[in-house]
C-alpha cells in the first residue's frame, strides 16, 4: 500500500510547529499504524545517511492497547478511524491504498506538546494524586472475601476501571474536558464498598484538581465516549455528577455542624 | 572475591520468614524521615515498594521511564495472579503453591524464597481488594478463581483479561496517594543509566532526563532496581517496547552479579510472526488453555494443504486432528507448564505438521468450549483477548481456531539477590522480574504478578529496614561527591561516542540482527555448537555496532534513537553472557533445553548431580571473559524429582 503522510513536527515545547509531508510505499496491509511509523523512521535514518535528521517522536510502549501511552490524532480523530481501538492496535488495512493521512498530537491546554507527536499528560497523574485512591496502607486489611461485593457492582466497577488514561477523551472534546477520565475513576471506587467510605471527599478533591489544571467544562456532547478506545461509558459522568452534588450537600452540612473535612 | 551468602534464616521452612521478621533490625519513625530510598521502575514491584516505603515514613524518590507510573510494562499482564486462598476448597495450601512453584521451576529455585512467596501471596489478594481492585466475582459476591498451567487446583485470581492492568492501577493509586502526601517524589520520563557506589555501597544513580537530555544525579541511602526483565534482547518478544536490561546490566558492570542469564521463558501461546517489519509479539493469555484445545493435523498432507490455503481447519474431522498435549501428557493435558507446551509446539512444527502460511503455528481451538458453554460465556471470559486477536490477524476466533506459536516472554534470570533481595552490591536491592529469585528455570503462569507484588508490598519493606537499621547515623549524601562526577562523565562519554560514530546502519537493524542470533541459537532448542557460534557472532556484531551505527537526533532533546542505542549496547553484552551461561549448563531444565540432553521421547533431561545450582556471573571488564560462581541449591524440605506431567 502507498500513503502520503502529513505529520506534525515540532522541535520542542517552545518551538513553532508545522506539518511535513512524507511518502511511503510498499506497506503491508497487516502492518500496524505504529509499525508504519517505525518504517518511516527507519527510512528517514537510511535515506539521509550523511544529513542531520531527526526521527519522528511519538509515545508508545505496550503496543497492545493497554498502557495508554500511544496518542495520535489521525485525520481529525483521536486514535484514528476504528471504533474502540488504540492507535497501536490500528492496522493499515483500515485505510485505502493511496490515502493521505494527517497525524497530529493531542491538542489540549492541559496537555502541552513536548516534541512532534508527544505530549505531556502529567495533569492526569495530578488528578489521581488528589484523591484517586483508597487511603489504605500496606498490611492490616481484612481477608479478601470478608466483604462480599455484588457481582453487578464489581462488573460495573471493572467497566470503569478499564480506562487506560490515554487522554483521547480530552483530545476529542471541544472543551478539552477530562470528565470521562475523572468520572471513570470516581465511579470505580464509588461502586465498591472499599471505596465508598471516602467517596465524598474523593469526588470533590478530584474535580477541584481537574478544574485547577485547566481542563474545560463538560457540555454533554459525548464525543469522549464515541472516541474512547476502551468504550468507557458516559454513564460514569452522570454517576459522578450525582456523587458530586450529593457530596457537596452532605459535606456542607457536616462543616456547618462543626465537623470539618479534615 | 565476593562471597555469595544467601542469608537464608535458620529453622524449619515454614518458620523462616517469621523468624527473620522477629529478629531483624527496625528503624524508628523519627529516623525513617532521615533516610532516603531511590526506586527505579514503576511496575508492580517498584510501585508497590515505593508506596509502602512512603507509608512507612521513608523519603522516597521514584524514577519512571514513561510519562506516568501507570504505563509500566506490568500493565499488560492479562491472565491472573496466584494465591493459596483455597476458596474453591479444592485442596490448595501454602505448601502446595510452594511445591508447584518449585517443581514448575524444575528444581532450580531457592526453597526458602519460594516458600516465603507462597506464604505472603494471600496477603496480596487481601491488599488489592482493599485498594479497590475489581477482581472477578461470582454471583454470591465472593471472588472467582481460574486455573493456570502446572497446577491441579484453581488458585488464580483475575480481573477479566486485564489483571496486570488492575493490579498496577492499584499499586499506582497507592503510590499516587503517597506522592500527594509528599512522602514520595516522582521523576517521570527518566531513564537510569548507572549506579553510583561510594565506599562499596550503592548510594545513588545517574539518570537521563528523556525530555531535556540532561544527565541528573540522585543520592540516597539505598537503591532498589525494579526495572523488569530483559526479554527484548531477542528484539521480538511480548515485552513492552521500553522494557530493557540496561539498569540490571549497568549494575552488573558495577559489581552486581548476574544469575542464570540463560533462563528465558518462551510462552507457548502468542500470535505468530507475520512480517519482517514486525515490532513486537502479542501474547494470548495462558488462561485460554483452560478452555481452548491445542492441535495440529495428524497427516502431513493435510498440514500442507492448510498452509497453501486449500483446506480449512474446520473441515478436518476429529480423527484427523492430533491433540498432541492431551496425547503426550494425559494428566495435565492442555495445562502443562509453558516450557513443555512450547517445546511440544516446536517439535510438531519442525516435524512438518505446522499450520499458517509459514508452517510455524499450531491451533488453539474453542469450538468444543463454545459448544459446551455457549459463546457468551467464552466472550465473558476472554472477550478482550479474542478482540485483540481479531484486530491483529483479521480472523474471527469464535469461528476459526486461533493460530499460535511460542514467543519470548519472561526472563527467570536476573540480578542475583540474597534472601533479603539484596544484590552483591551492599545497599542495592533488586525486585520483581529484575531479580532471579523465585522461578528457577521456568516460571508458572500467574506467578510473576504474585512475585512482583510480594517483593514490593511484603518483602522489601522488611528487609530494607534490616539494611537501613545501621545507616541512621549516615548523613544525607551530596551529589557533588567525586563518585557522581566519575559516573556521569562515563555516561557522557558513552553518549558522545554513540552519537559520534555516524555510521550507515540504523539502531533497529542491529537489534533485529541480534534478535535473530538469539532466537536461532539461544532460543527454544540449544546445542553446544550453536551456542559457541552465537558467542562469536554477538562479539562480531558488537564490533560492527560500534563502527557503523547511526544515531540521529540531538543529545539534548527527546531522542528515541539514542535511547534505543544505549539499551542495545547493553543487550549486545548481555546476549553474549546468556549464550555463555547456556553453553556451560550441560543439562536440560525448565526453559533451558539443550538438545544433547533429552530422553528418547524428547523430554528434558536434568542433571542434578552436576548442575543443581544457580550459575552466578561476575563481570570482569569490557571484552573480558566473565567468571562464574556457584550458589548450590540445597533442598532440605522437599524431595527433588523428575518433573512428570504425564500421570
Ligand atoms: C503480555 C504479558 C502478559 C503477562 N501476563 C501475566 C499474567 O497473567 N500473570 C503473571 O503473573 N505474569 C504475567 N506476565 C509477566 C508479568 O507481567 C511481569 O513479569 C511483571 O509484571 C514484571 O513486573 P516488574 O514490576 O518486575 O517489572 P515491569 O512491570 O517490567 O516494570 C519495570 C519498569 O521499569 C522500566 N525500566 C526499565 N529500565 C529502566 C531504567 N533504566 N530506568 C527507569 N525505568 C526503567 C521498564 O520500562 C518498566 O516500565 C505477563 C507479561 C507479559 C509481557
Ligand atoms: S502503546 Fe500501549 S496503548 Fe498503545
Within-domain flag for B516: yes
Average pLDDT rounded to a whole number, residues B304-317? 96
DSSP conformational letter for A108: -
Burial A161-182 (b: 16+ CB within 10 A, else e): bbbbbbbbbbbbbeebbbbbbb
Is ipTM > 0.85 here?
yes
**Residue B479 in grid coordinates:** 551529589
**Residue B545 in grid coordinates:** 555496532
Residue B237 pLDDT exceeds 80:
yes
**For A44, how many CA atoms within 13 A lie in the half-sphere containing its CB?**
19
From the CB of B73, is ligand 1 less than 6 Å away?
yes
Q: What is the CATH number of the domain that holds B541?
A: 1.20.58.100
Contact B552 A69 (CB under 8 A): no
pLDDT of residue B2: 56
* pLDDT interval class at A260 (50, 70, 90): very low
Answer with the one of B409, B429, B458 that is the final residue of a domain. Answer: B409
Q: Which residue shows C-alpha cell 540480578?
A: B415
Q: Which of B50, B161, B64 is nearest to B457 (CA)?
A: B50
Which ligand 1 atom is at minimum distance from the Cα of B243? 47
The answer for residues whose C-beta is within 8 angstroms of residue A258's C-beta and 6 or more apart is: none
Contact B361, B293 (CB under 8 A): no
Q: What is the largest CA-CA distance in chain B?
A: 76
Answer with the one of B409, B433, B461 that is the final residue of a domain. Answer: B409
Q: Which of B22, B26, B18, B23 is nearest to B468 (CA)?
A: B26
DSSP conformational letter for B454: I
pLDDT of residue A253: 83
Instruction: Indicate yes or no: pTM above 0.95.
Output: yes
The total of structural domains in chain B comes to 2
- Please measure the distance between the N-terminal and C-terminal CA atoms of chain B and give it in whole angstroms: 46
| Closest ligand to Cα A64 | 2
pLDDT in tens, B62-113: 999 999 999 999 999 988 999 999 999 999 999 999 999 999 999 999 999 9
* pLDDT interval class at A262 (50, 70, 90): very low
Q: Which of B635, B632, B618, B626 is nearest to B259 (CA)?
A: B618
Contact B238, B483 (CB under 8 A): no
Mean pLDDT of chain A: 95
Q: What is the CATH number of the domain that holds B400?
A: 3.90.700.10
Q: Which of B190, B93, B126, B159 is nearest to B457 (CA)?
A: B126
Contact B72, B66 (CB under 8 A): yes
Question: Which alpha helices (H) appear in chain A, and where do they start and end?
Answer: 33-47, 122-131, 151-161, 168-172, 179-190, 193-196, 199-212, 223-227, 235-256
DSSP conformational letter for A74: E
- Give the C-alpha separation, B64 to B190, whole Å: 6
| Helices B163-180 + A151-161 axis angle, to 10 | 70
Tell me the C-alpha to C-alpha distance, in Å, between residue B448 and each of B389, B410, B570, B572: 23, 9, 24, 26
Residues of A in contact with B75 (CB under 8 A): 62, 66-67
The answer for residues whose C-beta is within 8 angstroms of residue B12's C-beta and 6 or more apart is: B637
* Same-domain status, B382 and B499: no
Instruction: State the catalytic residues of B.
Output: 338
Which ligand 2 atom is at minimum distance from the Cα of B75? 2
- The shortest C-alpha distance from A82 to chain B (Å) reads 10
Burial B225-240 (b: 16+ CB within 10 A, else e): bbbbbbbbbbbbbbbb
B44, B65, B67, B379, best to mutate vs chain A, most A CBs in 10 Å: B67
pLDDT of residue B274: 83
Q: Would you state the torsion angle of the CA atoms of residues B487, B490, B495, B496, taken in this order, to the nearest 10 degrees?
A: 140
Contact A68, A158 (CB under 8 A): no
Residue B387 pLDDT exceeds 50:
yes
* Same-domain status, B381 and B511: no
Pocket-testing residue among B433, B454, B456, B460, ligand 1, by greatest number of atoms within 8 A of Cβ? B433
Q: Which of B614, B615, B595 is nearest to B604 (CA)?
A: B595
Phi, psi of A102 (to 5 degrees): -100, 130
Contact A125 B68 (CB under 8 A): yes
Asked if domains A3-113 and A121-256 share a fold, the reply is no
Residue A148 contacts B, CB cutoff 8 Å: yes
Within-domain flag for B89: no
Pocket-testing residue among B124, B216, B228, B287, ligand 1, by greatest number of atoms within 8 A of Cβ? B228
Residue B16 pLDDT exceeds 60:
yes
* pLDDT interval class at B149 (50, 70, 90): confident
* Same-domain status, B379 and B291: yes
The answer for residues whose C-beta is within 8 angstroms of residue B522's C-beta and 6 or more apart is: B262, B264, B530, B531, B534, B575, B578, B579, B582
Average pLDDT rounded to a whole number, residues B354-374? 95
* pLDDT interval class at A49 (50, 70, 90): low
Contact A63 B550 (CB under 8 A): no
Task: Identify which of B55, B392, B506 has the shortest CB distance to residue A137.
Answer: B55
Residue A56 contacts B, CB cutoff 8 Å: no
B58, B80, B123, B130, best to mutate vs chain A, most A CBs in 10 Å: B130
What's the residue count for chain B? 647
* Same-domain status, B495 and B390: no
Tell me the C-alpha to C-alpha distance, in Å, between residue B432 and each of B97, B117, B181: 18, 12, 26
* pLDDT interval class at A252 (50, 70, 90): confident
Under CATH, which number does the domain A121-256 receive? 1.10.1060.10
Within-domain flag for B297: yes
What would you report as the CA-atom Rg of chain B, rounded to the nearest whole angstrom?
Answer: 24
**For A93, how many CA atoms within 13 A lie in the half-sphere containing its CB?**
10
- Give the C-alpha separation, B20 to B219, whole Å: 29
A3-12, A159-168, B150-159: least confidently modelled range: B150-159
* Secondary structure of residue B236 in the 3-state scheme: coil
Burial B583-612 (b: 16+ CB within 10 A, else e): bebebbbbbbbbeebeeeeebbebebeebb
**Could you tell me the distance, in angstroms and rounded to a whole number, from the CA of residue B6 to the centre of ligand 1?**
25
Q: Chain A: residue nearest B72 by CA?
A: A67
pLDDT in tens, A175-190: 999 999 999 999 999 9
Q: Which long-range contacts (CB under 8 A, 24 or more apart) does B417-420 make?
A: B418/B5, B418/B6, B418/B7, B419/B6, B419/B7, B419/B8, B419/B9, B419/B20, B419/B110, B419/B112, B419/B113, B419/B463, B420/B7, B420/B463, B420/B464, B420/B466, B420/B467
The answer for residues whose C-beta is within 8 angstroms of residue B609's C-beta and 6 or more apart is: none
pLDDT in tens, B514-541: 999 999 999 999 999 999 999 999 999 9
**Could you tell me the distance, in angstroms and rounded to a whole number, from the CA of residue A168 to the centre of ligand 2?**
12
Mean pLDDT of chain B: 96
What's the residue count for chain A? 262
Which ligand 2 atom is at minimum distance from the Cα of A63? 1
Residues of B in contact with A145 (CB under 8 A): 85, 87, 142-143
Q: What is the DSSP string of B458-488?
A: IIHHHHHHHHHTT-TTSPPPPTTSHHHHHHH
Domain range for B395 is 267-409
* Same-domain status, B496 and B628: yes
The answer for residues whose C-beta is within 8 angstroms of residue B304's C-beta and 6 or more apart is: B352
Answer with the one of B376, B409, B442 that is the final residue of a domain. Answer: B409
Burial (CB count <10 Å: 0-12, 13-18, 19+), residue B359:
middle
Q: Which residue shows C-alpha cell 455457549?
A: B374
Please state which of the four CATH numbers 3.40.50.920, 3.40.640.10, 3.10.20.30, 3.40.50.300 is assigned to the domain occupying A3-113. Answer: 3.10.20.30
From the CB of B227, is ligand 1 less than 6 Å away?
yes
Helix (H) or strand (E) holding B568: helix B560-584
Q: Give the domain ranges of chain A.
A: 3-113, 121-256
Average pLDDT rounded to a whole number, residues B555-582? 98
Q: Which long-range contacts (CB under 8 A, 24 or more apart) does A38-43 make?
A: A38/B277, A38/B279, A38/B508, A39/B277, A40/A5, A42/B506, A42/B508, A42/B509
* Other CB atoms within 10 Å distance of the CB of residue A198: 17
- Give the C-alpha separation, B538 to B144, whole Å: 47
**Residue B161 in grid coordinates:** 483479561
pLDDT of residue A261: 42
Within-domain flag for B424: no
* Same-domain status, B493 and B628: yes
* Other CB atoms within 10 Å distance of the CB of residue B638: 16
Residue A256 contacts B, CB cutoff 8 Å: no
Residue A57 contacts B, CB cutoff 8 Å: yes
β-bridge partners, B535: none
* Same-domain status, B276 and B395: yes
Q: Which of A1, A52, A61 is nearest to A27 (CA)?
A: A1
Residue A172 pLDDT exceeds 70:
yes
**H helices, E strands: number in chain B:** 19, 21
Amino acid at each position: 500500500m502507498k500513503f502520503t503522510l502529513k505529520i506534525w513536527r515540532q522541535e520542542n515545547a517552545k518551538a513553532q510547529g508545522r506539518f511535513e509531508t512524507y511518502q511511503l510505499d510498499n506497506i503491508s496491509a497487516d502492518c500496524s499504524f505504529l509499525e508504519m511509523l517505525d518504517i518511516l523512521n527507519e527510512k528517514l535514518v537510511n535515506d539521509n545517511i550523511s544529513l542531520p535528521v531527526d526521527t519522528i517522536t511519538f509515545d508508545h510502549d505496550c503496543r497492545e492497547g493497554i498502557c495508554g501511552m500511544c496518542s495520535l490524532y489521525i485525520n481529525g480523530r483521536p486514535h484514528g478511524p476504528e471504533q474502540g481501538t488504540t492507535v497501536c492496535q490500528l492496522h493499515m488495512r483500515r485505510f485505502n491504498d493511496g490515502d493521505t493521512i494527517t497525524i497530529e498530537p493531542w491538542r489540549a491546554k492541559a496537555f502541552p506538546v513536548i516534541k512532534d507527536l508527544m505530549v505531556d499528560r502529567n495533569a492526569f497523574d495530578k488528578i489521581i494524586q488528589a484523591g484517586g485512591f483508597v487511603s489504605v496502607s500496606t498490611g492490616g486489611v481484612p481477608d479478601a472475601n470478608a466483604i462480599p461485593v455484588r457481582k453487578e457492582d464489581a462488573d460495573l466497577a471493572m467497566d470503569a476501571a478499564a480506562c487506560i488514561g490515554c487522554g483521547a477523551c480530552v483530545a476529542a472534546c471541544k472543551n478539552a474536558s477530562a470528565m470521562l477520565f475523572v468520572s471513570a475513576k470516581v465511579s470505580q471506587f464509588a461502586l465498591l464498598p472499599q471505596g465508598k467510605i471516602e467517596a465524598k471527599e474523593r469526588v470533590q478533591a478530584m474535580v477541584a484538581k481537574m478544574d485547577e489544571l485547566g481542563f474545560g467544562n463538560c457540555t454533554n456532547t459525548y464525543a469522549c465516549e464515541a472516541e474512547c478506545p476502551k468504550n468507557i461509558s458516559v454513564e460514569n459522568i452522570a454517576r459522578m455528577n450525582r456523587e458530586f452534588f450529593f457530596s457537596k450537600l452532605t459535606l456542607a452540612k457536616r462543616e456547618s455542624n462543626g465537623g470539618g473535612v479534615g | 572475591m565476593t562471597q555469595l551468602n544467601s542469608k537464608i534464616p535458620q529453622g524449619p521452612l515454614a518458620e523462616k520468614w517469621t523468624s527473620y521478621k522477629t529478629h531483624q533490625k527496625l528503624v524508628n519513625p523519627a529516623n525513617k524521615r532521615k533516610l532516603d530510598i531511590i526506586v527505579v521502575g514503576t511496575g508492580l514491584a517498584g510501585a508497590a515498594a515505593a508506596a509502602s516505603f512512603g507509608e512507612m515514613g521513608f523519603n522516597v524518590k521514584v524514577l519512571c521511564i514513561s510519562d506516568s507510573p501507570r504505563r509500566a510494562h506490568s500493565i499488560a499482564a492479562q491472565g491472573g495472579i496466584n494465591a493459596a486462598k483455597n476458596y474453591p476448597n479444592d485442596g490448595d495450601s501454602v505448601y502446595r503453591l510452594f511445591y508447584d512453584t518449585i517443581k514448575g521451576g524444575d528444581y532450580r529455585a531457592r526453597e526458602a524464597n519460594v516458600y516465603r512467596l507462597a506464604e505472603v501471596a494471600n496477603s496480596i489478594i487481601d491488599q488489592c481488594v482493599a485498594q479497590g481492585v475489581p477482581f472477578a466475582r461470582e454471583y454470591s459476591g465472593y471472588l472467582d478463581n481460574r486455573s493456570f498451567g502446572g497446577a491441579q487446583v484453581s488458585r488464580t485470581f483475575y480481573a477479566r483479561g486485564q489483571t496486570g492492568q488492575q493490579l498496577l492501577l492499584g499499586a499506582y493509586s497507592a503510590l499516587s496517594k503517597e506522592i500527594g502526601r509528599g512522602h514520595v517524589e516522582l521523576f517521570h520520563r527518566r531513564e537510569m543509566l548507572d549506579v553510583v557506589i561510594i565506599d562499596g555501597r550503592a548510594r545513588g544513580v545517574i539518570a537521563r532526563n528523556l525530555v531535556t537530555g540532561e544527565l541528573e544525579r540522585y543520592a540516597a541511602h539505598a537503591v532498589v532496581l525494579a526495572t523488569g526483565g530483559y526479554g527484548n534482547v531477542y528484539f521480538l518478544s511480548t515485552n513492552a517496547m521500553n522494557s530493557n536490561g540496561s539498569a540490571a546490566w549497568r549494575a552488573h558492570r558495577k559489581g552486581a552479579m548476574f544469575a542464570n542469564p540463560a533462563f528465558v521463558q518462551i510462552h507457548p501461546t502468542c500470535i505468530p510472526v507475520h512480517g519482517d517489519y514486525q515490532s513486537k509479539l502479542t501474547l494470548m493469555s495462558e488462561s485460554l488453555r483452560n478452555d481452548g484445545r491445542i492441535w495440529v493435523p495428524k497427516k502431513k498432507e493435510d498440514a500442507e494443504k492448510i498452509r497453501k490455503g486449500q483446506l480449512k481447519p474446520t473441515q478436518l474431522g476429529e480423527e484427523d486432528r492430533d491433540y498432541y498435549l492431551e496425547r503426550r501428557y494425559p494428566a495435565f493435558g492442555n495445562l502443562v507448564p509453558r516450557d513443555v507446551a512450547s517445546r511440544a509446539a516446536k517439535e510438531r512444527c519442525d516435524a512438518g505438521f505446522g499450520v499458517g502460511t509459514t508452517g510455524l503455528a499450531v491451533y488453539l481451538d474453542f469450538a468444543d468450549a463454545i459448544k459446551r458453554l455457549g459463546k457468551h460465556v467464552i466472550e465473558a471470559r476472554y472477550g478482550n483477548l479474542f478482540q485483540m486477536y481479531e484486530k491483529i490477524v483479521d480472523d474471527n476466533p469464535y469461528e476459526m481456531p486461533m493460530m499460535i506459536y511460542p514467543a519470548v516472554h519472561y526472563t527467570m534470570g536476573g540480578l542475583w539477590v540474597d534472601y533479603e533481595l539484596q544484590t552483591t552490591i551492599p545497599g542495592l536491592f533488586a525486585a520483581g522480574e529484575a531479580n532471579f529469585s523465585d522461578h528457577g528455570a521456568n516460571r508458572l503462569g500467574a506467578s510473576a504478578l504474585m512475585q512482583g507484588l510480594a517483593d514490593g508490598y511484603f518483602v522489601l519493606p522488611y528487609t530494607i529496614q534490616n539494611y537501613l537499621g545501621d545507616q541512621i547515623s549516615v548523613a544525607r549524601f551530596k551529589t557533588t561527591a567525586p563518585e557522581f562526577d566519575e559516573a556521569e562523565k562515563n555516561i557522557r562519554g558513552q553518549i558522545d561516542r554513540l552519537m559520534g560514530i555516524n555510521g550507515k546502519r540504523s539502531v533497529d537493524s542491529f537489534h533485529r540482527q541480534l534478535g535473530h542470533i538469539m532466537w536461532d541459537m539461544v532460543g527454544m532448542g540449544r546445542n553446544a555448537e550453536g551456542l559457541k557460534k552465537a558467542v562469536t557472532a554477538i562479539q562480531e556484531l558488537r564490533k560492527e555496532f560500534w563502527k557503523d551505527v547511526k544515531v540521529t537526533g540531538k543529545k539534548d532533546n527527546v531522542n528515541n534513537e539514542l535511547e534505543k542505542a544505549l539499551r542495545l549496547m547493553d543487550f549486545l553484552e548481555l546476549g553474549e553472557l546468556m549464550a555463555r551461561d547456556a553453553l556451560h549448563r550441560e543439562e536440560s531444565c525448565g526453559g533451558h533445553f539443550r538438545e544433547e540432553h533429552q530422553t528418547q521421547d524428547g523430554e528434558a533431561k536434568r542433571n542434578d548431580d552436576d548442575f543443581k545450582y544457580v550459575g552466578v556471573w561476575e563481570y570482569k571488564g569490557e571484552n573480558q571473559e566473565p567468571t562464574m560462581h556457584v550458589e548450590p541449591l540445597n533442598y532440605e524440605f522437599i524431595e527433588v524429582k523428575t518433573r512428570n506431567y504425564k500421570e
